[in-house]
Chain A
Amino acid sequence: MTPVTSSAVSVHVNGDAYRLELDHRTSLLDALREHLALTGTKKGCDHGQCGACTVLLGGRRVYSCLVLCVAVGDREVVTVEGLADGADLHPVQEAFVQRDAFQCGYCTPGQICSAVGMLREAEAGWPSAVTSADTGTSRLDEAEVRERMAGNLCRCGAYANIVPAILDAAGHGGADR
């Protein structure tokens, strides 16, 4: 018997349902870019080491390069294309524009999706490695943002503007959408 190495896969992306015939090897990242023409999500390393491919999966930030699309199941996928409400940018996107938080822009979709997920995590009271054990709270400051965003590298070194952009968004309901 020849093994079955491809399947019909249903995925829900940015509110739309798609049905794709996929080789099981296809990552969520490649499905988005090559099969759904959603090229906002970027491929930096393809090994979980850079963060360029960050999307929200079931509401949580993940690296889409390490997710097999066949394993996504019925969890909703949100990419950078799905964050704005029509012409109304997401508060994190707006803050990146206001703060000029990019140079080449390659890491930016991943930074923005990651920041959206990270603000939800902080809102839910999740600690980080720099959260003080005494207070146990996680008031976002520069050190917290840098640690929580460590999974997104910027080759241009735009961190000096990325950090204040995220702090701005945190103060403007960035976690609520």
Chain B
Amino acid sequence: MKQFAYARPADREEAVAMVSGSPGARYLAGGTNLVDLMRLGVAGPDLLVDVSALLPSGVQEQPDRGLLIGAGTPNSDLAADERIRRDHPVLSQALLAGASGQLRNMATVGGNLLQRTRCVYFTDVTKPCNKREAGSGCPARTGAHRDLAVLGASEACIATHPSDMAVALAALDARVHVSGSDGDRVLALDDFYRLPGEDPSRDTTLKHGDLVTAVEIPLASALTRRSAYRKARDRASYAFALGSVAVALEVSGTTVRDVRIAFGSLAHRPWRARTAEDALRGAPATADAFSAAVEVELGAAAPLPDNAFKVPLARNLAVSVLSALLEEAPR
């Protein structure tokens, strides 16, 4: 690990000024991803700005505007929050499907959103990787890509975003609050993450020095209350997803009234399945209709030999969770 200076600023303005003003500075929150990447030599900041004590922590109710989740909230507290469990179960379930009890106690909401890909070339500094070192190449395409992207990938990079939480947030239309050197702004999750394109070095649209301060989720509804997360992985627990899905479903009679579907571990960002959602709104609530709609969405997939299994896996996950939610729905 490279040597580094350490600072614990008093407030968010000071923190933003410190990181914005120094290209080699990084924020430190729970450290569960950053400290590991520093030890691996993938990250080598010369200054760590510890924001763990100054970031807001906890869930705040905003009248008429839903819940405001502080970026410093530990993943375990958010998963256990009564309002989240009752009104947005997909988010609690996604958090509990991720990592382990110890990691969830350390990991923060902001750090979870900004964790880096688990692509094995990205984390191995002896290998080329366009994301880690621009222009060095992408060995994953012809190498180990079983875990990697089937949707939205580019010639330059086929990495996936590993967060479970972010997939649920995508389905819930979450918005991210950011403080930067030129003020505060709020970004839809869609405008927060990006596809790799020709510049896979960046996972998000954030600028250096931008600090995530909170995540906002809209008011609970019949839709968000009937929501669920399902994750497929190589072990029963404590493993990243091969594919996952966050779903919310509202039916009226035998018809889909409203639906949200987001896939995890299929792309460089949580993949909101808007094509499938549009096809399902007003359609019959049946397994066949679910399957047909998801097939159209996944028609855009361009899998490689070792990750082609992800396409039917994602379809089956979505259809089975939608069907399970339909079972429970009041008629």
**Min distance, Cβ A13 to any Cβ of chain B, angstroms:** 18
Total contacts A-B at CB 8 Å: 112
Report whether B28 and A68 are in contact in the complex, using a CB–CB cutoff of 8 Å.
Answer: yes
Known contacts A47-B36, A71-B52, A150-B237: A62-B6 contact under CB 8 Å: no
Q: Which of A105-143 contact B (CB under 8 A)?
A: 114, 117-118, 121, 124-129, 131, 133, 136
B48 touches A121 (CB 8 A): no
- A residues in contact with B238, CB < 8 Å: 150-151
- Min CB–CB distance A25 → chain B (angstroms): 5
Cβ B28 vs Cβ A71 within 8 A: yes
In the complex, A67 has a CB within 8 A of chain B: yes
Does the CB pair B76–A121 fall under 8 Å?
yes
Q: Is the CB of B100 within 8 A of A66?
A: no
Report B-chain residues with C-beta under 8 Å of the C-beta of A70.
Answer: 6
**1/0 per position for A37-55, CB-CB distance to B under 8 A?**
0000000001110010010
Task: Give the bracket for the number of chain B residues in contact with chain A.
Answer: 35 or more
Residues of B within 8 A of A146 (CB): 237
For A117, what are the chain B residues with a Cβ–Cβ distance below 8 Å?
A: 101-102, 105
Cβ-defined partner of A66 (8 Å) among B5, B35, B79, B101: B35
- Interface residue from B47, B101, B103, B106 paired with A121 (Cβ < 8 Å): B101
Among the stretches A2-10, A83-91, A156-164, the one at the interface with B is: A2-10
**Does B35 lie within 8 Å of A68, measured CB to CB?**
yes
Which residues on A sit within 8 Å (CB–CB) of B52?
A: 71
Assuming the A-B contacts A129-B93, A151-B101, are A71 and B50 also in contact, with contact meaning beta carbons closer than 8 angstroms in the complex? Answer: yes
Within 8 A of B (CB), among A144-177: 146-152
Q: Which residue of B39, B97, B237 contacts A47 across the interface (Cβ within 8 Å)?
A: B39
Q: Is A94 an interface residue (CB 8 A)?
A: no
Contact call B105/A60, Cβ cutoff below 8 A: yes
Task: Determine if A96 is an interface residue (Cβ-Cβ < 8 Å).
Answer: no
- From the candidates B4, B28, B47, B102, name the one contacting A51 in the complex (CB within 8 A): B102
Residue of B nearest to A61 (CB): B102
Q: Which residues of B contact A99 (CB under 8 A)?
A: none
A63's contact among B5, B53, B102, B236, by CB below 8 Å, is which?
B102
Residue numbers in A under 8 Å from B329 (CB-CB): none
Main secondary structure of the interface of B (DSSP, over half): mixed
A93 at the interface (CB under 8 A from B): no
In chain B between 94 and 131, which residues have their CB closer than 8 angstroms to a CB of chain A?
96-97, 99-103, 105-106
Q: Is B32 an interface residue (CB 8 A)?
A: yes
Interface residues on A, range: 35 or more
Query: Which residues on B sit within 8 Å (CB–CB) of A7?
Result: 6
Q: Is B144 part of the binding interface, using a Cβ–Cβ cutoff of 8 Å?
A: no
Establish whether residues A129 and B36, one from each chain, have CB atoms under 8 Å apart when the complex forms. Answer: no
> A residues touching B (Cβ–Cβ < 8 Å)?
3-5, 7, 23-25, 27, 46-48, 51, 54, 60-63, 66-68, 70-71, 73, 114, 117-118, 121, 124-129, 131, 133, 136, 146-152
Residue contacts A-B, CB under 8 angstroms, 26 given: A3-B4, A24-B3, A24-B48, A25-B4, A47-B39, A61-B101, A61-B102, A62-B106, A66-B30, A66-B32, A67-B31, A68-B31, A68-B35, A70-B6, A71-B6, A114-B101, A126-B79, A127-B79, A127-B80, A128-B96, A129-B93, A129-B97, A136-B85, A147-B236, A150-B101, A151-B102
Residues of B within 8 A of A (CB): 1, 3-6, 8, 28, 30-32, 35-36, 38-40, 46-48, 50, 52-53, 76, 79-80, 85, 89, 92-93, 96-97, 99-103, 105-106, 236-238
